[in-house]
Chain A
Amino acid sequence: EAQVTQNPRYLITVTGKKLTVTCSQNMNHEYMSWYRQDPGLGLRQIYYSMNVEVTDKGDVPEGYKVSRKEKRNFPLILESPSPNQTSLYFCASSLSPLEVRRGTDTQYFGPGTRLTVL
């Protein structure tokens, strides 16, 4: 089954304690992305990756890091979490935008990770 998985689904942590949210896809997608969702603000892109070892900042990258060492995995790292990073996080993957002509540029979203930073 084609899917994007995220772990953990729920996390409560304290300010300053480093954490990693994992994201994995089994569709051999080149493009992966992280979003945060906050009430009234919709989805905001944090970082995206066009392929292995290629990452770039989205709209709200401050306080986050990512890595793309393998095609299937795209972890989100919070080196020193702060309460303003309390949010619902989604990972997504899709075909490379440059190959979108083959069909629809569907982004598949993971189930979400609800993070609370105290």
Chain B
Amino acid sequence: GENVEQHPSTLSVQEGDSAVIKCTYSDSASNYFPWYKQELGKGPQLIIDIRSNVGEKKDQRIAVTLNKTAKHFSLHITETQPEDSAVYFCAASRAYSSASKIIFGSGTRLSIRP
């Protein structure tokens, strides 16, 4: 079946450094790739997304890149801050299809060291 693999499962970086989380997907028909941030005791929140007709998208300190040929996409957080500490999930779906299953990665726990 379709799946999304996410690495690493845990990541610790020094405050101010960059963090990179990588995901690969199996369903070649996927065309929408959101990233979610989940803080302790809360539901996931969308932080950035990218569609298959775009290779890169940036929003302030957060950027996402997509390589459709290799079927992988990555989240980049620059100048990390303590409030970036959370669990991050990638996901893939066929956003324009009536089959709107969304497959999530297993999550990355990001810790920012002061």
On A, residues with C-beta under 8 Å from B are: 4, 31, 33, 35, 40-45, 48, 50, 56, 58-59, 90, 92, 97-98, 100, 104-107, 109-112
Cβ–Cβ contact B89 & A43, under 8 A: yes
CB-CB contacts below 8 Å: B10-46 with A: 32, 34, 41-46
On B, residues with C-beta under 8 Å from A are: 1, 6, 9, 32, 34, 41-46, 49, 89, 91, 93-107
Query: In the assembled complex, which residues on chain B have CB atoms less than 8 Å from the CB atom of A58?
Result: 101
Q: List 16 A-B contacts (CB under 8 A).
A: A4-B43, A35-B104, A40-B106, A42-B89, A44-B104, A45-B101, A48-B102, A50-B98, A58-B101, A90-B44, A104-B49, A106-B46, A107-B44, A107-B46, A111-B43, A112-B43
Q: A42-B6, A105-B34, A109-B43 are in contact. Are A100 and B96 (CB under 8 A)?
A: yes
| Smallest CB gap from A107: residue in B | B46
The CA of A5 and the CA of B20, in the complex, are separated in Å by 32
Q: Which of A40, A42, A59 has most B Cβ within 10 Å?
A: A42
Cβ–Cβ contact A110 & B43, under 8 A: yes
Cβ–Cβ contact A97 & B106, under 8 A: no
Cβ–Cβ contact B42 & A111, under 8 A: yes
Cβ–Cβ contact B43 & A45, under 8 A: no
Cβ–Cβ contact B95 & A105, under 8 A: yes
Cβ–Cβ contact B32 & A100, under 8 A: yes
User: Which of B34, B49, B99, B106 touches A41 (beta carbons < 8 Å)?
Assistant: B106
The CA of A29 and the CA of B1, in the complex, are separated in Å by 28
Cβ–Cβ contact A48 & B106, under 8 A: no
The CA of A56 and the CA of B91, in the complex, are separated in Å by 19
Minimum CB–CB distance from A87 to chain B (whole Å) comes to 14
The CA of A97 and the CA of B98, in the complex, are separated in Å by 8
Cβ–Cβ contact B100 & A48, under 8 A: yes
Q: A33-B102, A45-B102, A58-B101 are in contact. Are A109 and B44 (CB under 8 A)?
A: yes
Query: In the assembled complex, which residues on chain A have CB atoms less than 8 Å from the CB atom of B102?
Result: 33, 45, 48, 107
Q: Which of B42, B99, B100 has most A Cβ within 10 Å?
A: B100
